[in-house]
Amino acid sequence: MSHSERRLVILGVAASDSHAVANHLIAHALRGLGFEVENLGTCTPVEEFAEACERHPEAEAVIIGSLNGHVHEDLRDLPAAREAGRITCPVIVGGNLSVGSRKDPKDLERLYALGVDRILRDPEQLLSALDELRASRTAERQRLLVAS
């Protein structure tokens, strides 16, 4: 991957979650695919994701994992960070996104309402999601250039 093709993502685990194994495996896999990964690690509040986005405005996505099921509460500050322009790239969330074995589709709706752009059920979906989001952002930039 050339410097002009540089792909940087910001990765972390939701604020109340200390599960580290999947985080490290995803970081390792992405690096193996040529991505630069700013890995914020576990127990990462929205504020730290926002600060990383401010340090890396070129980041193509924020990727947040959660295994304890409390991601809705952990992302309660995401709408304010998005509105303030502190997190402008797409936000991808994956893992166990609700407490208990019964999954309610409303849990996903709540995440989208908080400002999450993509919800992944399987880490195998991550690369294609990143590619799709990148293509969509590139097309939008081109559309804006043509319109101006």
Helices (H) and strands (E) in the chain, counts: 6, 5
User: Among 19, 56, 70, 117, which one carries the catalytic annotation?
Assistant: 19
Catalytic residue among 3, 17, 56, 70: 17
19 is catalytic: yes
Strand 61-66 relative to strand 36-39, pairing: unpaired
Record the tokens describing residue 112, joined without a space: 């989208």
Catalytic (active site) residue 117: no
Residues β-bridged to residue 13: 65
CA distances, 48 to each of 41, 71, 78, 81 (Å) = 10, 15, 11, 11
In angstroms, rounded to a whole number, what is the distance separating the alpha carbons of residues 13 and 11? 7
Catalytically annotated residues? 17, 19
